Every structure is written in structure tokens, then in C-alpha cells.
Structure 1
């Protein structure tokens, strides 16, 4: 039963077309980051970036070299799309994208994390066996079929992402529309659509439409009777997200996933008219079966458990941020903060507040006013800066934070010297004050 489910040969049209779209989107994401100014604002203008803790060795290349970095990523994206040196292209893009992802948190996005996972999956798939330069240059690799697991690995990954995104929205501030209203209020100044988004029904659409769509879209796409309706709902949902929330390539990538739910003959008719349709029914058990099953089992267990880790950490994840990342908790909260950093010189006993403008961009300042890990990182950086000047200091943080428009509360214990604290990788951070 398992052998037939995983290793039955099916037509590979969906994977071939998806590779082309995926590579194009990787290219557009890379060059778009250059031309929209994202690379300059996020990686060139700041004196440093807040990397993921443990990846301190990752900092942007000096000068304008990050432009070249993204240009090279774009070239690898084209390599994926064209199927040229496919393995080299996809693995190289994956490594470079991981470098940028772990290098900075100012523009953290769940979709950036998803792209890492998809790149890793695409790196092991035979996506270059048709309609590729590799297949043209080496006809021996050409194939019109693939094992069924190549399809189901995407379906299961998407099911995990969408299910957690739906469940995460079932909490009071989302259900009573507090968060959706704040989200729409922040779009008030949008040209053309800004005033429309202030209509009373829009927060209901965002709140309950989001829960229903995320929770039902995969089952509805899998069922033939509801597939077309689900696909058109996907177009509306993702175009709305693209226009209103401006989340880069993800809406188009999400629509491309629909390829894996439609019949192969339709994919051929729409995109690959010259490709022969595979109609066989072979089951081919590969020698790599034990490795594939074992690695896949571990991978998906991690994917299922990782978003649940905040349940074993004290206090609310919306407040502490512990367990927020890598958990498909998308657009669930709005946070604002008023934060000051006080330095106390151990030798002279002098104290003064830090002028954040001297160290951080405006975007980094917002991050260093609400995110506990970033607040700790900045405190550690201040300690290093003053140590280089021969001064031993303490750093005390007075941080007031509001979550979803609620009254401001103290986030950090102002009596704790954050410069003297070690980071808690696997336990609750004790210098965080409780939310209640």
C-alpha cells in the first residue's frame, strides 16, 4: 500500500511547470529586492544587522557587494527556471538565500522561511527531466514521469503550513477583530484602496475568511468537485494579500502550487502541449527507499512539532515572541513600544540614555523596542562597543510594549543588566516580565 502510494509513477508535468515558475519567482525576488531598494534599506544602509542568535558570523558584505550577492542569486534563479545545471543552481540559491535569511531579522517573514523549505525540497526532486537545458544537453536524463512522492511532499508541506496558519488565528484578538482592524487601519493611506479597506465588512473578511481559507483550501483542492471553486478562491485570496499586505512572491508561489492538484492532461494542455502524457501504472521501488522514508519522517515530525513549541514555554507567545518564528503565525499581532537603553559605567558610576539614532536605522529601532531577542542583542552590542573603548558597562532597558492596541506594559525587568545575561536558547527568558 505504502509502496504504491509513494512510488507509483505519475506524469511529471506539474513538477516541470512548477520548476519554471519557481525559478522565475526566485529570479524576480532577487532582482526585485535590488530595484525596489530593499537591499539598500535592509542590508547596506545599516551599520550592522540583527542576525539570528547563533549566526553572529553572518553580516552583510561591505559596500555595495550585497547588490552583487543578490544579482548572483538572480542568476541561479534563472538557472532553476531554465533547468540549466539544475542541481548546482538550486543548491547554490538555497545556500545564498539561507545566508540572507539568517543574516537579518528586520524584515522577518514566514514566507522567507517557507522558501528555504521549498528550495530544500526542490533540490532533491527530478524537476529538470523535461523542458530544461539539462535534458536538451543530456537527453539520457529526459523523462515524462516521476514517483508520486514528488507530488505528495508538496501537498503535506502545504497542509502543515495552512493548517497552522488557520489554527493560530483562533484566538481572542483575532476573533473579536481587534487585530484585523489594526491591520486595515495601517493601510488607510494606501492610494485608491485605502479608504475602501476601512469598510466595516473588511475586518470580518480578513479574520474569518482567513481562518476558513487556510483551514479548508488543501482538502478542497484535493476533492475534484470543489477544486475549481477552491482555485478561484485562491486567486482572490492571494491577490488580495499581494495588493494589501505586499508579501512579495508568496501569493504567486502559492497559486503555482495548485498545479499539483490538477490532472496531468490539463497541465499538459495548458502549458506543455508538445509533451507526451505519461499514462502508465508502474510501481518502481528505488534503492533509496529506506533513506527517503526515514529522512521524510524525521523532517515532517519536526515540521509538525516546531510550531507547537510555544505551548511549553511560559506566558503568551504574542508577548514573549518565544516560539513565534518558524511557526506559521502570520500577521497575528500588532506591537508598538517605547524603549530606552540606560548605560551605567562601572568605573565612573555615570549613567546616561543611549541615543538610538547613533546606532540604528528607524526600522531597527522599531525592532529593538518590541522584540526581546533583538533588545538583548543590542544590549550585547553596546557592551562590546564600550569594551573596545576600554569601558566596562551595564545596560538597563526600560521597555513599554502594547500588543494589539492594548495598554502599554513593562516587557523587560528594568533592574536586570541585560549586558550581563546569557541568551536562553531552550528555556524561558527570566528577565521578561509576565504579560498579566
Structure 2
């Protein structure tokens, strides 16, 4: 039975959520999170120059909707920010000055995350949410310097643990729903192209008879795992079966796909689903003074004020509703989200396939009536953008007007008048033939970008239009 199912009918949800439980499981995940964040920031600044290539060298950055105002810091401050991320990660790992470290980490990580949508990945979004969760919870109550320094109780209200559990279950289940919606995934086109590309990038010369069974394992194993692992994780009787599946699934993803630290994060999140009282009792028995063994089994009533409890419950309710409903907004937009990508952001469309992009932009100078072309100059996007940013022009066509408006300003500064920016942007999804993704005769610098309905200047691939609805 699940913990939620075991709530005494005489005990309300409020009381259950605010009961104090041992903090060991959340603390262990905090320590793992510190390691993951140290690797994330370390890769940007310590042992590679990836941070410079992504955030300092480019002269243009694609902005997230609603964050167009965000500015990149000067190189010195940007480097300081990335180094600060490394320091904060160590502080979280050790649990020292946790409240400052967790809030600062949330600010630093989310700032870096929002600099350029070209580097969007579902797991970066998940990490941003986790950073916020740690900033609003008490994961320093165990296994921390703060516990020794401040004499903390070692307990957390149960809702803090449930918040993390909920988010990881959403990631799994909505990832499964996304795969069911994606016919390319069902047909193994997406899985095959992802595995093939991953092997090629790793330098492995692998033939079809090896790629195919690996991709089928990823395709169908991914569907069934994502849809059903939540129930296994929440049921005490099937928890260790879930552990075997979580290890197998995430290590398979780490081997066959290039998705960074995400498989390890999902694997380590298993500790959050171990009943906190049982985990604390096990740790006391194995690693602490046996005189403390019985103390971990106590679940205490929370004494927080009713006002505080009400604010927390309302906030949790709003967040839960958002996470459950917002990913479905693409269903209200014409066309396929897997082609146009309209409505894809923040929707947990995990591993939806691979894309290859060819892009060329043109500056067209018009007469005063804007009806006759006076001049025509081709521009190579690679002269302004990094390879990842160029690929984003096809992967995220809603970003194209941002770059077109930038090119228009540059052209006007160079002396052009009555400028239009047009684009020849061709995309191949999952090894299909290249086809245009934006209308070639539209002034991309003047179009409006809609995020709640289809943009007519984004072309819908006839073979895919409605294909995944």
C-alpha cells in the first residue's frame, strides 16, 4: 500500500502533509544533487570552456518567451557566476549555510538556464524546478554541517518529500504519454535515429542489426517503464522491483543516449521513494549509535501555524494543477507539436527524436512601396550563431523571428533601407527528407510569434500534419 493510501480516515490531508518525518531520504538526495550541480558547473568553467562557448562568445542569444529582457553578464561576471555555481554545489553537498546556498543556487542555475533557449533540454527544466524545491525545503536537517552547527531536529514535514516525489512521477508519466502521442516513437523511427546518432557521436561503428534491437528496447521499454514505474515506486510491496527497473532503465539510457547526467539523477531520485521511517531506522541500525535506533521511527505532529499551512497547501495545489495541465496546451494548437514544436516547451516531451537542419537567411532591400525587390544578399547564420544555435532555427521555428529582427537591425546599421529578412530553413526529422519549416517568402522580422495558437508562417509538413494528434 502507498503512504497516501494509509492515511487514517480520521486524519485530514492537512495533518498528514505537515506531520514530521525523518529527513534522511531528502538529505541523501540533496548530497547527490550537490554532486550533479558541481559536475554541471564544473563542465562549464573548470575542465572545459563550454561556458565560454555557450554564453560569452556568441553575439546573439535566443530568449525564452517572457524573458526577452534578460541580459548576459559581462565576461568577468559571467565567469564568476559559473565559479560561484561550483562553490554553491559543494555547500549543498556538505549542508553548510544551506538556506543561503540553496536560494543562491536556484538564482544562479535558473539564470544560466534562461540565457539561451537553444540549449533547452527537459532535464535542464527539471533541474531548475529541483533547485527551487531545495530553496523552499529543509533538506539540511540530516547529513549536514548545519545539523551539527544549529542542532537541527532531523525531521521535515511530509509535504516536502511528496513535492519531490510528485515532480519525478510527472516526468516519468508525462514522458510516457508523450511517446504514445508521437507516432514516430511508436514506429521506432525516433528511437532508431537517437540510438544511431548517439553511437556515431561516441565513435562506435555499429551496424543495423545491432542498432535495431537497441532502439526497440529504448522505444518499447521506455513506453512501458514511463507509464507504470510510478505505481511500482509508490507501492511498498513492489518498491524493490521498481528499484531494479529504475537502475536498468536509466543505465540503458546512459549507455545508448547522450542525455548527460539526467539518467543518474533519475536513478538517484529512487531514494526519495523509500519510506522515510524505514530508511532512517536502517541508517541508525547500520551506521549510527544503536541507542538512537528507535528514535527514527517516531512520526511527529507539525506545529506550524494554520496560516503557514494554508499558504503552503494553496501553493502546492497551484503548482500541481499547473504541472498536470500545462503540458497539454499543444493539443489546442493546430498541427503536430513534434514537427512545429509549438507547445513543446515545459511539456516533458522526452526524447521525441532527432533533427538535422540546413539554414540560410537573406536580406532583401525593398523600394519605398515595399513591393519591389531592389537588392538581395544572402547571409550564413554560422557567421552570427554557434552550431547549436543554428540547429535551433529548425528545431524551434518560433525562435526564427528573434534572429530575423537581429539581422534586420544589423542590416540597417550597415546602410540598408526597407529591409525584409527571409529564410530558407530546411529540417529533417528522424532521417526524413529535408523540407522547409518556415515560409520562404515571408518577412520573418515582422511576423508575430504566438505561443497559444499555430503561427501561419510555420509550415506544416503534409505527411505529419495531424499525424500525432
Give the TM-score taking structure 1 as reference length.
Answer: 0.92
Report the CA distance between 1:85 and its aligned residue: 1.6
Residue in structure 2 matched with residue 364 of structure 1 by the alignment: 389
Q: Deviations over 1:244-298 (max 9, x none)?
A: 3232222222122111222444455459822744222433352111101111111
Residue in structure 2 matched with residue 315 of structure 1 by the alignment: 335
Report the CA distance between 1:162 and its aligned residue: 0.9
**CA separation of 1:267 and 1:279: change in aligned 2, threshold 3 A:** closer
Residue in structure 2 matched with residue 149 of structure 1 by the alignment: 159
2:296 pairs with one of 269, 273, 278: 278
3-state SS of 1:187 partner: helix
- Equivalent residue runs for 1:311-390 within 5 Å: 311-346=331-366, 349-390=374-415
Checking the alignment, whether the CA contact within 8 Å between 2:342 and 2:451 is kept in structure 1 is no
Checking the alignment, whether the CA contact within 8 Å between 1:20 and 1:82 is kept in structure 2 is yes
Report the CA distance between 1:322 and its aligned residue: 0.8
Residue 224 (structure 1) aligned with residue 236 (structure 2): yes
3-state SS of 1:10 partner: strand
Residue 117 (structure 1) aligned with residue 129 (structure 2): yes
Q: Please give the alpha-carbon distance, in whole angstroms, between the structure 2 residues aligned to 1:208 and 1:425.
A: 31
Checking the alignment, whether the CA contact within 8 Å between 1:235 and 1:255 is kept in structure 2 is yes
1:250 pairs with one of 257, 262, 271: 262
Checking the alignment, whether the CA contact within 8 Å between 2:343 and 2:451 is kept in structure 1 is no
Q: Please give the alpha-carbon distance, in whole angstroms, between the structure 2 residues aligned to 1:426 and 1:187.
A: 33
Between 1:3-12 and 1:378-387, the stretch displaced more is 3-12
Residue in structure 2 matched with residue 408 of structure 1 by the alignment: 434
- Equivalent residue runs for 1:121-270 within 5 Å: 121-139=133-151, 142-170=152-180, 171-189=182-200, 195=206, 198-263=210-275, 264-266=277-279, 269=282
Report the CA distance between 1:394 and its aligned residue: 0.5
Q: Please give the alpha-carbon distance, in whole angstroms, between the structure 2 residues aligned to 1:226 and 1:360.
A: 49
Residue in structure 2 matched with residue 60 of structure 1 by the alignment: 72
Checking the alignment, whether the CA contact within 8 Å between 1:23 and 1:80 is kept in structure 2 is yes
Kindly report the root-mean-square deviation, in angstroms, between the aligned alpha carbons of the 2 structures. Answer: 2.3
Residue in structure 2 matched with residue 96 of structure 1 by the alignment: 108
2:323 pairs with one of 297, 303, 311: 303
Number of aligned residues:
434
Q: Please give the alpha-carbon distance, in whole angstroms, between the structure 2 residues aligned to 1:405 and 1:335.
A: 8
Between 1:356-365 and 1:169-178, the stretch displaced more is 356-365
**CA separation of 1:235 and 1:11: change in aligned 2, threshold 3 A:** same
Q: Please give the alpha-carbon distance, in whole angstroms, between the structure 1 residues aligned to 2:74 and 2:168.
A: 37
3-state SS of 1:189 partner: helix
Q: Please give the alpha-carbon distance, in whole angstroms, between the structure 2 residues aligned to 1:370 and 1:255.
A: 29
Checking the alignment, whether the CA contact within 8 Å between 1:174 and 1:332 is kept in structure 2 is yes
Residue in structure 1 matched with residue 447 of structure 2 by the alignment: 421
- Stretches of structure 2 lacking an aligned partner (at least 5 in a row): 1-11, 368-372, 463-469
Residue in structure 1 matched with residue 4 of structure 2 by the alignment: none
- Stretches of structure 1 lacking an aligned partner (at least 5 in a row): none
Q: Please give the alpha-carbon distance, in whole angstroms, between the structure 2 residues aligned to 1:283 and 1:143.
A: 13
Checking the alignment, whether the CA contact within 8 Å between 1:6 and 1:148 is kept in structure 2 is yes
Report the CA distance between 1:12 and its aligned residue: 1.5
Q: Please give the alpha-carbon distance, in whole angstroms, between the structure 2 residues aligned to 1:38 and 1:150.
A: 34
Residue in structure 1 matched with residue 467 of structure 2 by the alignment: none
Q: Please give the alpha-carbon distance, in whole angstroms, between the structure 2 residues aligned to 1:195 and 1:225.
A: 40
Report the CA distance between 1:203 and its aligned residue: 1.4
Q: Please give the alpha-carbon distance, in whole angstroms, between the structure 1 residues aligned to 2:339 and 2:274.
A: 42
Q: Please give the alpha-carbon distance, in whole angstroms, between the structure 2 residues aligned to 1:398 and 1:144.
A: 59
Checking the alignment, whether the CA contact within 8 Å between 1:412 and 1:432 is kept in structure 2 is yes
Report the CA distance between 1:144 and its aligned residue: 2.4
Give the TM-score taking structure 2 as reference length.
Answer: 0.86
**CA separation of 1:64 and 1:238: change in aligned 2, threshold 3 A:** farther
Q: Deviations over 1:57-97 (max 9, x none)?
A: 43433345433221101111112122222111111111111
Report the CA distance between 1:432 and its aligned residue: 1.4
Between 1:43-52 and 1:277-286, the stretch displaced more is 277-286
Checking the alignment, whether the CA contact within 8 Å between 2:176 and 2:223 is kept in structure 1 is yes
Residue in structure 1 matched with residue 35 of structure 2 by the alignment: 24
Report the CA distance between 1:102 and its aligned residue: 1.1
